[in-house]
Structure 1
Amino acid sequence: MDMIKPFLPQAVANAIEGIPSADKGKVEEIRIRVNRPIEVTVRGAPLFLPYRTNQGDADLLLQKISQHSIYAMDEELMRGYITIAGGHRVGLAGKVVLEGGKVRAIRDVSSFNIRIAREKVGIADVLVPFLYRNGSWAHTLIIGPPQTGKTTLLRDIARLVSSGNSGVGVPPRKVGIVDERSEIAGCVNGVPQLTFGNRVDILDACPKAEGIMMLIRSMSPEVIIADEIGRREDSEAIQEAVHAGIKIITTVHGRSLEEIKNRPTLDGIIGPSVFERYIVLGRMDGPGTISKILDGSGMPLAGKVKVM
């Protein structure tokens, strides 16, 4: 929260201070909408603050998150979000500008969704017996709906793989991170602001499929980390990495393995021929609740585990 406050208009920052102290550390999202009260998501539930934002607040917030250079952010506006220092992602909604039938940008921004990125160092350690076998990391897919902690867990897995754990006989490996949304590493000017080991190389703000291929060609990673796969191109790049002997650890939106099996863009990689482990997340006890760990055939290896 301290990292986010400098980006907020003063009136909005003052309203955020009104969040009960017991809830401040549990904030997941801050939604700012013109002419509406600020909505804060705490432990999955909405909390409305007694301040209605105005157009001036929205204009100032957009200027601050774009570092007063909104016209230099065309690529981010085309994707509908801007990532700020610390890996916090600000989603945008407003008037969509089309060019050739495709989204070119968002103008007259009237809604903002600030998703709070949290670093939870050590939460992946409990997964070592399931993901590290016979001296090698398993191809792993983390499955979960939004706000279940997929990126937070993936980030700590990247830290664990790149730093190793001598206490349990896990050596550090060369890790390549394709950070398309700048959420995994929270890079500022290409330098990660979050915790990793020494053996990590990051392609920041790079599309996943292109980034995976770039890492294969140029950085000789032993493990590639990427977030939120879903396009056909992502599946093809993952298959290339697997055939090159590189381990893949990534995430996907979904409620279950059965659900993502039905997604046509993923049909080439779901199954034991690629992924050896599936981690399914839910919100039964809040973000970071693993409902089950499955092997490559979908057979259960472990039940509910709370990691955050």
Structure 2
Amino acid sequence: MRGEVIRKKMTSKHQKITDDLDAMLSILPPDIAQAVQSEDNFDNLLEIILDLGRKPAARFTDSEVVLLPRDVTQYDLDYVTERIGSFDADNRAGLERTLHRISAIRNRRGDIVGLTCRVGRAVYGTIDIITDLVNSGESILLLGKPGVGKTTMLREAARILAETKRVVIVDTSNEIGGDGDVPHPAVGRARRMQVPKPSLQHEVMIEAVENHNPEVIVIDEIGRELEAQAARTIAERGVQLIGTAHGNALENLLLNPTLSDLVGGIESVTLSDDEARRRGTQKTVLERRAPPTFTVLVEIQSRQHLAVYTDVAAAVDALLRGYPTPPEERFWDEEGKIHIQRAEMKPAPTVNQSLRRGNSMEKTPFQRGLSNDKSTRKITSEPLLEADFETHVPAHAVEVKNIYAFGVARNRLLQVIKNMSVPARLVRNLEDADTFVTQRRYYRERLQPVIQAEEMGIPVFVIKSNSVNQIEQFLADLFMVPAPHNMISQHSEAMEQAEDAIQMVLAGEKYVDLRPASANIRREQHQLAQKASLISQSFGTEPNRFVRIFRD
């Protein structure tokens, strides 16, 4: 169940939008400008596209409209370029003291054959939804696809922070502070450093820290490795960073070798045999390489909906372990109220439990999504009928686990549930389950029920065999209660240890010593080794006599 908190109310009258649209229209050929005005949809206008030999078009937030039946000519392109500033090395130009951006497309000879005239807006009030994060002093990275509003939010953050702190904007394309030497009023008291060439952005970032003593640095479009390194250097000096990068989600950013360092980066680590067995993982695992440069990450999913990771380090670690953390969701409703929703988290598995859970053992963590993650939140659904279950649980049980068993002896599982008096019941349908248990061999074969359970986000527990001891240990881990110990369990555990030792020797171990056991158990362990065509021998004196299994 997700807890919802209403933080504040914000209606459209609290937002002030400045777009200087008349300035944009003034540089367009008159008939194209008139066509834009006739659409009468200025609030949703994003770009005006002029491509040589094609019909002019206007892009809105929800559609694209052809403005005129005629094609764009060279005269139209020259008309625009004569009325704007010069193009920089990144083929971008602007209008002085406005936020509009004109980007050029050139042919191989360097001639302009297309223009993208993007409308720049200063929207006051856009960061109300993350004001607490901006004022926290933490470094914040804004992620989102182009046109979703990253720069608009970044500009507003710079203006708000500049009221109380020393803020420097590193403005590579003049998109934050506008074209010209005097910054646009939308950045408030923030100072602006322009970048002569995009490839020099990282040098200007360092220069800003060394020469101008800022408390906050604002950067738009971090896209190169040198810029990511410069951002880390700035963060390590105690300066708050607020920046943007193209990307849809934290998971995508981690897989981007150029930008993954912004959230700590990942590296492949090879574990020793003992450590891999202790963790229950493969020998090669992924781990976070360093502390993240940005400690807070905001995914701008739409102009009204954000997903927030308030602890990037913990989120990255959880993702690499295979138990991704659902983000905090923030959104505006139709009435302008801001809502914050947090998912209730279950504790991450212990090392002892990890040997029996399947979610992070055999798959890369990046193959798992959060959309249907039942392991991290409680699911509200239609009430289930008692006929759907194979066991009856008392009504006073605090939290009942609905278990779907695949390849596990159901009668034995039912008996152990009864003996341990845990609030569990077996279900016949996978859709009704919140826990999935299977044997290791079925999990490794990647059978369809296992794959389906993982895709549905159901926690998967893997036991080695159908033994009572393994089932008891599974239920003990699931309900975090002590496992019962009896003679049957001791016998089963000793035989399972012998089976594991046989597999280790067959895999290359020189020898494996088993735990001390009685004469009857040692006899059965010798028989198992003989069936596997291995040598076994007993050592020591009673009651500490044990079996050693080895090759010829």
CA contact (8 A) 2:102 2:118 kept: yes
**Pair 1:275-2:275 in alignment:** no
Partner of 2:185 in structure 1?
194
Residue 91 of structure 1: aligned partner: 103
1:212 partnered with 2:205: yes
Partner of 1:203: 193
Aligned residue for 1:41?
59
1:182 to 164, 174, 179: 174
Alignment of 1:81 onto 2:92: yes
- Pair 1:173 & 2:165 matched: yes
**Deviation of residue 202 (structure 1)?**
0.7
The one-letter amino acid paired with 1:192 is P
User: 1:42 and 1:258, CA in 2 relative to 1: closer, same or farther beyond 3 A?
Assistant: same
Asked if the contact 2:94–2:179 (Cα under 8 Å) also holds between the matched residues in 1, the reply is: no
Q: Distance in 1 between matches of 2:99 and 2:134?
A: 25
- Asked if structure 2 preserves the Cα contact closer than 8 Å seen for 1:186 and 1:194, the reply is no
Specify the alignment match of 2:29 in structure 1: 9
- Residue 50 of structure 1 pairs with residue 76 of structure 2: no
More deviation, 173-182/9-18: 9-18
Gaps of 5+ in 1: 67-72, 98-105, 164-171
Q: Secondary structure at the match of 1:41?
A: strand
Structure 1 distance, partners of 2:332, 2:106, is 37
Gaps of 5+ in 2: 1-20, 265-290, 316-324, 337-552
Structure with higher helix content: 2
CA distance in 1, matches of 2:114, 2:35: 17
Kept in 2, the 8 Å contact 1:187–1:204? The answer is no
1:150 corresponds to 2:170: no
Read off the aligned partner of 1:30 and give its amino acid letter.
Answer: I
Query: d(CA) in 2 for partners of 1:9 and 1:181?
Result: 25
TM-score, length basis structure 1: 0.82
Cα displacement (A) at 1:51: 4.2
Task: Evaluate the alpha carbon distance shift between residue 29 and residue 248 of structure 1 in structure 2; reply closer, same or farther with a 3 A threshold.
Answer: same
Q: Which shows bigger deviation, 79-88 or 26-35?
A: 79-88
Once the two structures are TM-superposed, the CA of residue 191 in structure 1 deviates from its matched residue by 1.0
SS in structure 2 of the partner of residue 181 of structure 1: coil
Matches within 5 A, 1:278-289: 278-283=297-302, 288-289=303-304
Partner Cα distance (1:187, 1:47) in 2? 28
Letter aligned with residue 202 of structure 1: R
Give the equivalent residue in structure 1 for 2:233: 240
Separation in 2 of the partners of 1:301 and 1:160?
25
Q: Distance in 2 between matches of 1:14 and 1:241?
A: 47
SS of corresponding position for 1:50: coil
Identity %: 24
Q: 1:263 Cα deviation (Å)?
A: 1.2
Normalising by structure 2, report the TM-score. Answer: 0.47
The answer to whether 1:18 aligns with 2:38 is: yes
Give CA-to-partner distance per residue, 1:68-116, whole Å, 9 cap, x none: xxxxx46x1x42221223121111113134xxxxxxxx31x12111111
Residue 79 of structure 2 corresponds to 60
Question: What is the alpha-carbon distance in structure 1 between the residues aligned to residue 23 and residue 138 of structure 2?
Answer: 35
| Aligned partner letter, 2:43 | G
Structure 1 residue aligned with 2:126, among 123, 127, 152? 123
Deviation at 1:194, TM superposition (A): 2.9
Distance 1:158 1:14 in 2: 35
Cα contact 1:28–1:44 (8 A) shared by 2: no
Q: Which residue of 1 aligns with 2:372?
A: none
Secondary structure of residue in 1 paired with 2:107: strand
| Partner amino acid, structure 2, of 1:180 | T
Aligned to 1:65, the other structure's residue is in SS state: coil
TM superposition shift of 1:31: 0.4
Residues 195 and 201 in structure 2, CA contact (< 8 A), matched pair in contact too: no
Once residues 215 and 120 of structure 2 are traced to their aligned partners in structure 1, the CA distance between those partners, rounded to angstroms, is 26
Question: Partner letter of residue 203 of structure 1?
Answer: M
Which structure has the highest strand share of the two?
1
* 1:258-299 CA-partner distances (Å, limit 9, x unpaired): 10111111232213532111110123xxxx233301122334
SS at 2:159 equivalent: helix
The question of whether the paired residues in 2 share the 8 Å contact of 1:125 and 1:160 is answered with: no
Q: Which of 322, 328, 335 in structure 2 is aligned with 1:302?
A: 328
Q: Which has the higher contact order (CA 8 A, sep 6+)?
A: 1
Paired residue type of 1:178 = V
- CA gap 1:128/1:301 in 2 versus in 1, 3 angstroms: farther
Partner Cα separation in structure 1 for residue 219 and residue 212 of structure 2: 15
Residue 305 (structure 2) aligned to one of 287, 290, 304: 290
Equivalent residue pairs, number: 272
Q: What CA distance in whole angstroms lies between the structure 1 residues aligned with 2:327 and 2:76? A: 50
Structure 1 residue 204 displacement after superposition: 1.9
**1:253 match:** 246
Structure 1 contact 294–302 (Cα < 8 Å) conserved: yes
